[in-house]
Amino acid sequence: MPLYFTKFLGASVEFYGTLSSLYLLLVAGIAIVSGKAIDLGGAMKIMIISFGLEAVAVCGMLLTRDLIVSGFLFVLWEAVDLLDMTAPSILIGELVDSRSRAFALSTFRLVYRLAKVPGPAVGAFLFGISPIALLSLELAVSVVSVGVLLVGSRWIPFRKPPRFRPA
């Protein structure tokens, strides 16, 4: 994204730095909103909403070359990406037996981190082809993720956690 803003849209490095700072400023607030949203709506629903909003923001970036609008959409994209930050852990907690939960969480984190390894190389390759290809891939991943989650939410047997009742 730094290359997209500086090379493709002609933004200054300072402009991109400001966008990054705005995004990081939102992290604290989104963490609280994320937790409350997951408590109220459920992890699967919040993941669907998060990926859906990401797709909308990225689609908007594909449709504009305006620096300010693109910057706003980028910050929005990064913010809603954090909306579901604790959802996978909550789902694993709900769906995996307590004797296997730590292993399932650590396996998820390993796969999540390994999936990010080719990201910089793929991003640079796609940017070399076309900066639009980079955003198009992100849009495709978000849309496919929404589809997978919608299908997955139909076959995963969700249990409501037991309510705490003081003795």
Examine residue 165 and state whether it is found in any structural domain, yes or no.
no
What pLDDT, on a 0 to 100 scale, did the predictor assign at position 157?
Answer: 55
Report how many domains make up the chain.
1
Question: Using 50, 70 and 90 to split pLDDT, how confident is the model at 156?
Answer: low
Examine residue 167 and state whether it is found in any structural domain, yes or no.
no
Instruction: Name the pTM for this structure.
Output: 0.83
Nearest C-alpha neighbor of 112 from the set 123, 122, 101, 104: 104
Examine residue 69 and state whether it is found in any structural domain, yes or no.
yes
- Give the helix ranges, DSSP H, for the chain: 2-3, 13-41, 43-63, 67-81, 87-95, 101-116, 119-129, 131-155
Examine residue 135 and state whether it is found in any structural domain, yes or no.
yes
Q: Provide the domain limits for residue 7.
A: 2-154
Over the stretch 3-55, which tens digit does the pLDDT of each residue have? 899 999 999 999 999 999 998 888 778 888 888 899 998 899 999 999 999 99
Alpha-carbon distances of 164 from 92, 104, 167, rounded to whole Å: 20, 25, 9
Examine residue 97 and state whether it is found in any structural domain, yes or no.
yes
What pLDDT, on a 0 to 100 scale, did the predictor assign at position 31?
Answer: 80
Per-residue pLDDT, averaged over 54-71, amounts to 96
